[in-house]
Structure 1
């Protein structure tokens, strides 16, 4: 079945992008596919048909292949020889590890940044905090969440550290949406964000680092449990279906 990308947004300006360097086109396609995965238009394990995607974007196969390779390097897509590309499966262990890495990187970043914040940067962080608190759309909340977190660390002036943190945010987007499925989890995240911001304003490095790490590690554990439980349930259901199918194929012996 061809990949259905009808739900993916394609700005009218994309026609102009085709006249830019090929790298820009492949990046545009990668961004659109990543958004479709995050939003659930493309599901875990779903095949990505290169020819269908090329037709959808009115491009050759080359930028599509480059987009696949970019997404594979970020963990969004898996490419297998002779089978092509597919959306990566969600992994409980990967989700937990992403948040463990984030906890380490972001506690380091806020410790460096805290002494360099100004009234202006604090005001910007507060604005982004409130924007996240008031955002009801889970897709947009993911964006607001990243913006708030990155504003905490920006004054550190560590571009390579910020790049690594940004990569981990992108890899964790699809997992964060699982946490946001229940309003109570958004409420708890908002409260934790507020506490981190208060520690930042107080210039309390130890408290800020502790709260950031605790916030991220708890999120990783929550998502790990959710995915592990879902996987166990799916396996149990699969075993029961096989057992029922096996029983249906058995016929009683005829009386002699």
Structure 2
């Protein structure tokens, strides 16, 4: 994250490529802006906590403030951005508790979805799921793997024919994407995930609802616990590293001044 900026706009083209521009406002402009900002957050150009100034973003894309606000609202709903009254928008920070909760909720919803879907699976839908599982297994790029991972899960649940349930699950996939990228940024965990996918698919193919539910639940809860532990340990390590610098840089504050 050393190349991350302090916020938007991006000050130095030598440190990171400029975001694409949208010269002419149009119906899809909020989506274009949201996708550009999301990409900058993913690749680390915009660090957690970095401010996102609406006026600067509007100037960059040559648009009014309206599509910028829409883009930020969309990113906020997906967990990428935090908007606070009188403080504006910032890149949302990754937190262990949020990660675990997202996967706990996904476990409950996706266990239901797979149970509803299994009786409706056909040879064609199972073949599609198998192809997506295989494509994910062969995918070496962590970013693309996240996309293939979601496509596989979505395919497993589609025959449930529950559009509201599908939308809730899709929303949680979007909110959890940043956390999932942490896991798949560590190659040693990809093999375990691929094996779990294969086990889930096998249970769906033999129409074993109980086994499929148990496997999906374990797969998702395990991911949530992994990311929670990873973020907790990383925060502890960063705090331990920063403590000596704080002691050298300024006197320790007395309890009465903490938080003031």
Q: TM-score range by the shorter chain?
A: 0.7 to 0.9
Report which stretch shifted further, 48-57 or 105-114. Answer: 48-57
**Structure whose CA Rg is larger:** 1
Q: Tell me if 1:154 matches 2:158.
A: yes
Residues in 2 aligned to 1:246 and 1:15: alpha-carbon distance in whole angstroms: 47
Once the two structures are TM-superposed, the CA of residue 246 in structure 1 deviates from its matched residue by 4.6
Taking structure 2 as the reference length, the TM-score comes to 0.86
Secondary structure of the structure 2 residue equivalent to 1:75: coil
Residues in 2 aligned to 1:162 and 1:41: alpha-carbon distance in whole angstroms: 32
Residues in 1 aligned to 2:203 and 2:179: alpha-carbon distance in whole angstroms: 27
Once the two structures are TM-superposed, the CA of residue 127 in structure 1 deviates from its matched residue by 0.8
2:23, 2:63 within 8 Å by CA — same for their partners in 1?
no
Secondary structure of the structure 1 residue equivalent to 2:47: coil
Residues in 1 aligned to 2:59 and 2:147: alpha-carbon distance in whole angstroms: 29
* Equivalent residue in structure 2 for 1:3, among 3, 9, 13: 9
Once the two structures are TM-superposed, the CA of residue 237 in structure 1 deviates from its matched residue by 2.0
Determine the structure 2 residue equivalent to 1:53: 57
Residues in 1 aligned to 2:202 and 2:17: alpha-carbon distance in whole angstroms: 40
Determine the structure 1 residue equivalent to 2:39: 35
Determine the structure 2 residue equivalent to 1:73: 77
Residues in 2 aligned to 1:189 and 1:213: alpha-carbon distance in whole angstroms: 13
Residues in 1 aligned to 2:74 and 2:86: alpha-carbon distance in whole angstroms: 19
Residues in 1 aligned to 2:222 and 2:124: alpha-carbon distance in whole angstroms: 30
Q: Tell me if 1:134 matches 2:160.
A: no
CA pair 151-8 structure 1, distance change in 2 beyond 3 A = farther
Instruction: Give matches, 1:114-129, under 5 Å.
Output: 114-129=118-133
Taking structure 1 as the reference length, the TM-score comes to 0.88
* Equivalent residue in structure 2 for 1:99, among 90, 97, 103: 103
Unaligned runs of 5+ in 1: 248-256
What is the total number of aligned residue pairs between the two structures? 241
Unaligned runs of 5+ in 2: 1-5, 252-260
Determine the structure 2 residue equivalent to 1:110: 114
User: Greater helix percent: which structure?
Assistant: 1
Once the two structures are TM-superposed, the CA of residue 55 in structure 1 deviates from its matched residue by 2.5
Once the two structures are TM-superposed, the CA of residue 184 in structure 1 deviates from its matched residue by 1.3
Residues in 2 aligned to 1:108 and 1:37: alpha-carbon distance in whole angstroms: 32
Residues in 2 aligned to 1:48 and 1:204: alpha-carbon distance in whole angstroms: 48
Once the two structures are TM-superposed, the CA of residue 75 in structure 1 deviates from its matched residue by 2.1
1:111, 1:209 within 8 Å by CA — same for their partners in 2?
yes
* Equivalent residue in structure 1 for 2:26, among 19, 27, 36: 19
CA RMSD of aligned residues (A): 2.0
Q: Tell me if 1:241 matches 2:245.
A: yes
Secondary structure of the structure 2 residue equivalent to 1:82: coil
Secondary structure of the structure 1 residue equivalent to 2:83: strand
Determine the structure 2 residue equivalent to 1:225: 229
Once the two structures are TM-superposed, the CA of residue 53 in structure 1 deviates from its matched residue by 1.7
Secondary structure of the structure 1 residue equivalent to 2:207: coil
